[in-house]
Copies of this chain bind each other. A is one copy, B any other.
Amino acid sequence: MTSLLLSPAERAQLAMMLEVCAFPKPGNVDRCHDYPDTRLEHFLASVILARPALDEAALGKGRIGEIIGHAVRQTSMHSGGNTHFGAFILLIPLLYGGDIEGARTAVTRTDVSDAVAFYKAFALTRVRMNEEDELDVNDPRVLDELRERDMTLLDVMQYSAANDMVAREWINGFMLTRRGADILHQIGPGRGAVVEMFLTLLATEPDTFIIKKHGRAIAEQTMEKAREVLDGRRVLETFDAECIEAGINPGSIADITIAAIFIALGEGWEWDS
């Protein structure tokens, strides 16, 4: 497929679609596995419904925080809950800036209005956060707090970076996004590359979503098991079943996987050959 002929928003949608369909993707919703309340169709409905916000971001006008809010609102029109909040945190600046270089610049231009819009969007999702967080999204005073401290959205991401690898992408220049795209180029064309890239990231980075839910030890065990699958010492399907059984879903690496597919598609990686 000549993905280079697609619009940026279409590439972002294709990336979201390819990520959720890729299987078996240990612990996450995929072609073979639903969660009780969030199913494959909910993810794919979000892919469809996010189009206007993705188009808006690709224009590179308006404010990033607000556009993330639009994406969250548009994709909340189904009963499956949050599907792509983390992915939008990456895709929207990447679309806005046009590429990783442009996104690095774009995030430095966010201001307190972006931070406020982002927190309003965050409050609409049911995304897990650390309980001791002093910028708690459920605390009604948080917006005043942001304004008093004059925090930009980049400041918010800096604040969250220690515990959230998606936020960390804003700080480190989209390093894992870049690495994921490079892995796809190395593996070569075909949808099978998505699972291998996902596993490679999972083997080298503790997923912060798993850490928030289950603690660091479980996140590190999961890395170790992913490494064993890549080395042929563990069966992928068994690993998947173990993750599902234990409720271990590497959601943040899934978000970065989407961003990496988006970048790779824009650089000519072919998903369907």
Residues of A within 8 A of B (CB): 1-2, 5-6, 10, 13-14, 17-18, 21, 31-32, 39-42, 44-45, 47-49, 51, 77-80, 191, 271-273
Question: Which of B18, B40, B273 is the one whose CB lies under 8 Å from A21?
Answer: B40
Cα–Cα, bound, A47→B20 (Å) = 15
Cα–Cα, bound, A233→B14 (Å) = 41
Q: Is A48 a contact partner of B17 (Cβ separation < 8 A)?
A: yes
Q: Is A40 a contact partner of B45 (Cβ separation < 8 A)?
A: no
Q: Is A48 a contact partner of B47 (Cβ separation < 8 A)?
A: yes
Q: Is B77 a contact partner of A13 (Cβ separation < 8 A)?
A: no
Question: Which of B31, B48, B272 is the one whose CB lies under 8 Å from A13?
Answer: B48
Q: Which 6 A-B pairs have the closest CB atoms?
A: A1-B78, A13-B48, A17-B44, A79-B272, A78-B272, A21-B41
Number of copies: 2
Task: Give the residues in chain B near A47, CB-CB below 8 Å.
Answer: 44, 48
Which interface residue of A21, A41, A51 has the most chain B CB atoms within 10 A? A41
Q: Is A271 a contact partner of B1 (Cβ separation < 8 A)?
A: no
A209 to chain B, nearest CB (A): 24
Question: Which of B2, B48, B273 is the one whose CB lies under 8 Å from A77?
Answer: B2
Q: Is A272 a contact partner of B17 (Cβ separation < 8 A)?
A: no
Cα–Cα, bound, A14→B41 (Å) = 9
Residue on B nearest A78 in the bound complex, by CB: B1
Task: Give the residues in chain B near A78, CB-CB below 8 Å.
Answer: 1, 272
Add 6 more A-B contacts to A32-B32, A79-B272 (CB < 8 A): A1-B79, A5-B77, A13-B48, A14-B45, A18-B41, A41-B191
